[in-house]
């Protein structure tokens, strides 16, 4: 009896390794992909300055692209002319619809900031893009390029083409546009610092209206006979100016630089009337705006150097999100861009 | 119940051993077993918890590596020229196309393959029916026709994907295993699809990352694609086409034991792959195994040693009891002679002592009570018998008859007077002790009556001191001896002389009966002496009843220091009776002593 129990005991001791799957430890998997399927549909309202100009049409394409890839519901609606009151009306309608995100290219910050601030109070995430409102009225401003860099770049390209001396004018959009005013500021600053022989004669305004742009171009060309260059910092400026120069037959005497859609400038570039034009991709801007809206709604922190799918890395400076570098369009590459 | 019954019937020694086993060895063994299993379990759990953490780090590193490679196409966007090349469609002149091919491939080579110490085997860009490739090793497969397939599927998915070598016909020289990471290329400015970039990542990077946790190659590390069960990387075997079944791993993230192996698993690369770590437990627990062996050996030694020790102890306890049992058995058979030796002062020793005491008491009781009473009765009966032998009376009466016929009136009167005195002496039954003088006179009476019969053939002489009247002796102690002398003496000789002498030493009275008869036959004498030396009461019914009876009575009354001695002198025999020297005044105390003796028995 004792022997048996002893043998049993020893056997028990030896039988310790078993062949079954014995789970030792289960580590909790950290919450994987942050909510892959958004249960709640997000409404994003994008309000451009005007609807029917190429620049904002390109933005609309980018917005639609982003809506497809992000799955968000995106409304794109702007005034038919760049009229602040019309834009205000549109914004109010969106606020009433209780959209989740409101992204506006602001025509007149003074007029529209109160509405945007009101929308914010109602819990709507307010973004501005392309043109900023007053800082307290929005969460983030999505800027296309760094204002200082753009201003300097535009003046540098002009100076290079006209030989760093002579008179020039600037065609801006409207006085109320904060970012156009900022670019203007940097152009003037750069002018004072580096180009003493370059003289800015006037800043004219297009009011984001092709007709006004044409009229103003015509007026300044006539007003300043020694004019060497035009810098257009609103997208309607350079095409209008180029058309005027062609009409007046002074395309070779006056250099145009500035911001314009390559499609608008295609002919002028190819014919050599304009050597180069600068812009960013409005498609990319539209795309980025929707993506930022979506990310913010998902609760993602927007950080400097963040990588946005199909956009690249963005810079964040305070409440300003900078999309990237401007693109220079020339006769060689203008065909590559479809906006 | 059976066990209980069996246990009850076991011997004491076995009971002790069994109890010891139950109380010591089994608890120690169980304790040892439980401590060991608990320890091993704890160690396993600790390592089990450690392995997934370790793996997770490696997995994160792998993730980072893969992520880095997935992000590499960003480099392409940094070059406007490259984007422009990609934007071009394939309808160009051959020279232009070749020029672009050259520029692009040089760029890929310089900024992807040679720019960082990555494990890239090659970079492929499929765009608009064109293939740009830069590889670190020669390759085959992966032509334009396939490019379209993967490109399109990627365009639809709008995200990166990872392909295994089995998925494509891309084969590198040396059959190097790789992960093929496909990333769609997007024209960001125009928001249009440009093409697809494939980056072939050498799986050797997993080897490098997991190098530290491999523990001298004892462990096997695998990278498994979860959905298909295909093995992307295996540290143990090259090129494995083996498919791991879906339910092979019971958990997603953690560790478990199987087939003597500890297996850790953790998800890797966007949860789509699993990093698996396998190590045989004997490698892991080599030290514990050694400890276990040592413990078992020590435990066995402990068992052997303690069982020996305990057997010894149990033997020591049970052996004296066994001896007691054996002795009791012999006592049962009537052997009271042996007592046991007491060697220890423990309970068993005391028991033995008590037992010995009891045996001695019983023995004394038997001797001093039962046997003494028996002997006493026998002796008393004999005393009665010996008072007057009918034969003697017949012979005396015959002598008287002759004397009457002869007319010897005076002689007749003498004989009758003597006989009457003898009869009176005998009849005085209540008295056991008489004065020595009375006893001697009685013997003289006996002798004188015998002399009437035998005349000159019998002569005697008595010699006793004055003190004789004051000395007490048992009745009838001299007559049987004298009777013997006459009987044997006159059988062989014509005449006999009997000499009775009384000596006295300070504490002893010696009665000597000496005759000149034939003496004791040497053989008979030895036999007699042997009988006389025995304890009183153990007397055989021998022919020498008279002598031994006298001896017994003396010994019983006075102890073994007194008794009867036999001796053959020059002619004849001498019988000595040794008695204590007592005065008549002590007669009462003598009786009392006897009574004492009586009670003690």
DSSP string covering B336-385: -S--------SHHHHHHHHHHHHHHHHHHHIIIIIIHHHHHHHHHHHHHH
Q: Which residue did the predictor score with more confidence, B429 or B434?
A: B434
A88 with A116: CB under 8 angstroms? no
Structure token pair of residue A206: 């297009």
Q: Which residue of A has its CA nearest to B54?
A: A27
Q: Which residue did the predictor score with more confidence, B247 or B362?
A: B362
User: Best residue in B2, B35, B188, B258 to probe A by mutation, most A CBs within 10 Å?
Assistant: B188
What is the nearest CA distance from A221 to chain B, expressed in angstroms? 33
CB nearest B189 (choices: A16, A25, A283): A283
Range among A178-192, B116-130, B334-348 with highest mean pLDDT value: A178-192
Per the listing, tokens 């033995």 go with: B352
Query: What is each CA distance from B166 to B67, B163, B232, B557, in whole angstroms?
Result: 22, 8, 10, 127
Q: What 3-state class would DSSP assign to A175?
A: coil
Residue B589 pLDDT: 42
CB nearest A327 (choices: B189, B271, B292): B189
Per residue in A211-260, pLDDT (tens digit) is: 999 999 999 999 999 999 999 998 889 999 999 999 988 888 899 999 98
Cβ–Cβ of A27/B259 closer than 8 Å?
no
Question: Mean of the pLDDT values across residues B204-217?
Answer: 78
Residue B374 pLDDT: 73
**Residues of A engaging B, defined by a Cβ cutoff of 8 Å:** 1-2, 5-6, 9-10, 12-13, 16-29, 32-33, 61-62, 65, 69, 280-281, 283-284, 287, 307, 310-313, 327, 333, 336-339
pLDDT of B598 above 60: no
CB nearest A310 (choices: B29, B188, B257): B188
Q: Which has the closest alpha carbon to B567: B557, B559, B577? A: B577
* Cα gap A273→A256, rounded to integer Å: 8
* Cα gap B236→B4, rounded to integer Å: 60
Q: Which residue did the predictor score with more confidence, B311 or B432?
A: B311
Question: Which percentage of chain B shows pLDDT scores above 70?
Answer: 88
Q: What is the DSSP letter of B22?
A: I
What is the nearest CA distance from B217 to chain A, expressed in angstroms? 23
What is the nearest CA distance from A310 to chain B, expressed in angstroms? 6
Per residue in B136-175, pLDDT (tens digit) is: 888 888 877 776 676 666 655 667 788 888 888 888 888 8
* Cα gap B92→B242, rounded to integer Å: 46
Structure token pair of residue A263: 């499609």
Residues in chain A within 8 Å Cβ distance of B303? 6
Q: B545: exposed, middle or buried (C-beta count within 10 Å: 0-12, 13-18, 19+)?
A: middle
Residue B429 pLDDT: 63
A302 with A295: CB under 8 angstroms? yes
Cβ–Cβ of A27/B37 closer than 8 Å?
no
Range among A116-130, B244-258, B338-352, B568-582 with highest mean pLDDT value: A116-130
Burial annotation B276-301 (CB, 10 A radius, 16+ → b, else e): bbbbebeebbeebeeebeeeeeebee
> From start to end of chain A, where are the E strands?
22-26, 43-47, 73-76, 101-104, 125-129, 140-143, 166-172, 198-205, 227-232, 255-258, 277-279, 307-308, 312-313, 315-317, 320-322, 327-329
Cβ–Cβ of B52/A283 closer than 8 Å?
no
Q: Are strands B161-163 and B130-135 parallel, antiparallel or unpaired?
A: unpaired
What is the nearest CA distance from B374 to chain A, expressed in angstroms? 58
Cβ–Cβ of A28/B253 closer than 8 Å?
yes
Q: What 3-state class would DSSP assign to B75?
A: helix
CB nearest B87 (choices: A9, A310, A336): A336
Q: How far apart are the first and last CA of chain A?
A: 97
CB nearest B52 (choices: A25, A337, A338): A25
Structure token pair of residue A194: 């580096």
Sheet hosting strand A166-172, strand order edge to edge: A198-205, A166-172, A227-232, A255-258
* Cα gap B455→B402, rounded to integer Å: 13
CB nearest A29 (choices: B40, B252, B256): B252
- When mean pLDDT is compared across A149-153, A229-233, B324-328, the lowest value belongs to B324-328
Per residue in B15-62, pLDDT (tens digit) is: 888 888 788 888 888 888 898 888 888 888 888 888 888 888 888 888
Dihedral sign, Cα of residue A298, residue A301, residue A307, residue A310:
positive
Torsion of CA B339, B342, B346, B347, to 10 degrees: 0
Cβ–Cβ of B18/A26 closer than 8 Å?
no
* Cα gap B160→B196, rounded to integer Å: 9
Residues in chain A within 8 Å Cβ distance of B17? 2
Q: Which has the closest alpha carbon to B75: B128, B126, B131, B114? A: B114
Beta-bridged to residue A315, according to DSSP, are A322
Per residue in B484-534, pLDDT (tens digit) is: 888 888 888 888 999 999 888 888 888 999 888 888 888 888 888 887 777
Question: Mean of the pLDDT values across residues B558-562?
Answer: 81
Question: Cα B579 to chain center, whole Å?
Answer: 63
Cβ–Cβ of A27/B32 closer than 8 Å?
no
pLDDT of B536 above 90: no
Cβ–Cβ of B250/A1 closer than 8 Å?
no
Q: What is the DSSP letter of B243?
A: B
Question: Mean of the pLDDT values across residues B251-260?
Answer: 83
Q: How confident is the model at residue B597 (pLDDT cuts 50, 70, 90)?
A: very low
Q: What is the DSSP letter of B583?
A: B
Q: Are strands A166-172 and A198-205 parallel, antiparallel or unpaired?
A: parallel
Q: What 3-state class would DSSP assign to B285?
A: coil
Question: Mean of the pLDDT values across residues A275-291?
Answer: 91
Structure token pair of residue B180: 């093929």
pLDDT of B542 above 70: no
Beta-bridged to residue A103, according to DSSP, are A46, A127
Residue A101 pLDDT: 92
Cβ–Cβ of A312/B188 closer than 8 Å?
yes
Q: Which has the closest alpha carbon to A5: B21, B301, B1, B311? A: B21
In B505-584, alpha helices (H):
522-533, 545-558
The model's pTM is 0.61
Question: Cα A270 to chain center, whole Å?
Answer: 27
Per the listing, tokens 């409101």 go with: A102
What is the nearest CA distance from A312 to chain B, expressed in angstroms? 8
Q: Which has the closest alpha carbon to B73: B181, B167, B171? A: B181
Residue B587 pLDDT: 44
Residues in chain B within 8 Å Cβ distance of A32? 267, 271
A323 with A285: CB under 8 angstroms? yes
CB nearest B253 (choices: A26, A281, A337): A26
Q: B441: exposed, middle or buried (C-beta count within 10 Å: 0-12, 13-18, 19+)?
A: middle
Q: B141: exposed, middle or buried (C-beta count within 10 Å: 0-12, 13-18, 19+)?
A: exposed
Question: Which percentage of chain B shows pLDDT scores above 90?
Answer: 2
Structure token pair of residue B73: 């196409």
Q: How confident is the model at residue A3 (pLDDT cuts 50, 70, 90)?
A: low
Contacts of B422 by beta carbon, 8 Å cutoff, 6+ apart: B388, B442, B445, B446, B449
* Cα gap A73→A45, rounded to integer Å: 8
> From start to end of A70-165, where are the E strands?
73-76, 101-104, 125-129, 140-143
Length of chain A equals 339
Question: Mean of the pLDDT values across residues B408-417?
Answer: 88
Q: How confident is the model at residue B462 (pLDDT cuts 50, 70, 90)?
A: confident
């Amino acid at each position: 009896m004792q022997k048996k129990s002893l043998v049993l005991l020893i056997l028990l001791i030896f039988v310790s390794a078993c062949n079954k799957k014995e789970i030792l430890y289960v580590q909790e998997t950290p919450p994987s992909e942050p909510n892959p399927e958004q249960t709640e549909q997000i409404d994003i309202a994008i309000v451009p300055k005007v609807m029917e100009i190429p620049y904002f049409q390109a933005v609309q394409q980018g917005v639609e692209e982003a809506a497809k890839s992000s799955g968000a519901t995106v409304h794109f609606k702007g005034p038919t002319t760049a009229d602040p009151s019309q834009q205000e009306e549109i914004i109010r309608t969106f606020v009433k619809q209780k959209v989740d995100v409101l992204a506006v290219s602001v025509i007149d910050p003074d007029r529209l900031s109160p509405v945007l601030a009101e929308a914010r109070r109602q819990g709507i995430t307010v973004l501005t893009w392309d043109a900023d409102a007053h800082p307290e009225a929005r969460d983030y401003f999505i800027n296309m390029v760094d204002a200082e860099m753009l201003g300097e770049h535009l003046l540098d390209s002009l100076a290079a083409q006209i030989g760093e001396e002579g008179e020039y004018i600037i065609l801006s959009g409207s006085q109320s546009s904060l970012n156009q005013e900022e670019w203007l500021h940097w152009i003037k600053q750069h002018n004072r610092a580096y180009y003493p022989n370059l003289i800015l004669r006037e800043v004219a305004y297009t009011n984001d209206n092709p007709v006004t742009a044409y009229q103003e171009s015509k007026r300044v060309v006539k007003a300043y006979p020694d004019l060497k260059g035009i810098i257009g910092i609103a997208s309607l400026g350079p095409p209008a100016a180029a058309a005027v120069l062609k009409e007046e037959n002074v395309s070779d005497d006056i250099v145009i630089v500035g911001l314009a859609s390559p499609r608008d400038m295609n002919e002028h570039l190819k014919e050599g009337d304009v050597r180069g034009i600068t812009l960013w991709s409005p498609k990319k801007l539209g795309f980025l705006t929707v993506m930022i809206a979506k990310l913010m709604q998902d609760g993602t922190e927007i950080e400097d150097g963040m990588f946005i799918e199909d956009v690249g890395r963005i810079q964040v400076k305070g409440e300003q999100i900078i999309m990237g570098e401007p693109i220079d369009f020339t006769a060689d590459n203008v065909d590559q861009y479809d906006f | 119940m059976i066990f209980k019954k069996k246990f009850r019937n076991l011997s004491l020694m076995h009971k002790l051993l069994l109890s010891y086993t139950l109380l010591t060895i089994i608890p120690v063994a169980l304790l040892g077993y439980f401590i060991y299993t608990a320890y091993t379990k704890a160690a396993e759990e600790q390592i089990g918890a450690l392995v997934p953490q370790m793996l997770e780090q490696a997995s994160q590193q792998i993730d980072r590596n893969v992520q880095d490679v997935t992000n590499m196409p960003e480099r392409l966007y940094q070059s406007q020229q490259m984007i422009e090349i990609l934007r071009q469609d394939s309808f160009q002149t051959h020279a232009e196309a070749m020029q672009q091919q050259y520029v692009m491939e040089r760029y890929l080579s310089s900024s992807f393959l040679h720019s960082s110490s990555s494990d890239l085997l090659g970079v492929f860009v499929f765009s608009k029916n064109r293939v740009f490739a830069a590889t670190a090793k020669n390759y085959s497969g992966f032509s334009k026709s396939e490019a379209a397939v993967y490109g399109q599927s990627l365009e639809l998915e709008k995200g990166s994907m990872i392909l295994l070598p089995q998925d494509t016909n891309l084969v590198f020289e040396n059959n190097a295993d790789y992960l093929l990471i496909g990333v769609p290329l997007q024209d960001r400015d125009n928001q249009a699809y440009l093409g697809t970039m494939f980056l072939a990542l050498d799986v050797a990077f997993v080897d490098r990352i997991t190098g530290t946790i491999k523990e001298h190659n004892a462990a096997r590390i695998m990278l498994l694609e979860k959905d298909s069960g295909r093995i992307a990387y295996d540290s143990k075997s090259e090129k494995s086409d083996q498919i791991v079944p879906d339910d092979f791993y019971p958990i997603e993230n953690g560790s478990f034991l199987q087939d003597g192996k500890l297996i850790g698993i953790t998800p890797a690369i966007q949860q789509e792959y699993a990093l698996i770590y396998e190590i045989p437990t004997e490698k892991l627990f080599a030290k514990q195994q050694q400890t276990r062996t040592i413990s078992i050996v020590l435990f066995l030694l402990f068992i052997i040693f303690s069982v020996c020790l305990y057997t010894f102890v149990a033997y020591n306890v049970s052996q004296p009891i066994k001896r007691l049992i054996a002795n009791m058995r012999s006592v049962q058979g009537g052997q009271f002679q042996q007592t046991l030796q007491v060697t220890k002062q423990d309970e068993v020793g005391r028991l033995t002592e008590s037992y010995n005491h009891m045996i001695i008491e019983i023995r004394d009781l038997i001797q001093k009570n039962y046997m003494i009473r028996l002997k006493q009765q026998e002796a008393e009966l004999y005393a009665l018998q010996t008072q007057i032998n009918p034969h003697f009376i017949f012979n005396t009466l015959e002598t008287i008859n002759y004397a009457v016929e002869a007319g010897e009136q005076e002689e007749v009167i003498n004989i009758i007077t003597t006989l009457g005195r003898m009869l009176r002496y005998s009849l005085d039954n209540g008295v056991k002790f008489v004065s020595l003088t009375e006893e001697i006179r009685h013997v003289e009476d006996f002798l004188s009556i015998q002399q009437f019969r035998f005349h000159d053939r019998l002569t005697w002489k008595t010699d006793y001191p004055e003190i004789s009247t004051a000395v007490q002796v048992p009745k009838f102690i001299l007559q049987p001896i004298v009777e013997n002398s006459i009987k044997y003496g006159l059988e062989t000789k014509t005449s006999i002389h009997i000499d009775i002498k009384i000596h006295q030493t300070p504490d002893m009275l010696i009665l000597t009966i000496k005759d000149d008869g034939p003496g004791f036959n040497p053989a008979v004498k030895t036999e007699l002496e042997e009988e006389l030396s025995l304890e009183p009461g153990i007397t055989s019914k021998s022919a020498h009843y008279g002598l031994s009876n006298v001896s017994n009575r003396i010994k019983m009354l006075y102890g073994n220091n007194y008794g009867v001695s036999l001796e053959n002198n020059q002619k004849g025999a001498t019988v000595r009776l040794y008695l204590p020297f007592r005065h008549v005044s002590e007669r009462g105390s003598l009786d009392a002593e006897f009574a004492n003796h009586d009670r003690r028995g």
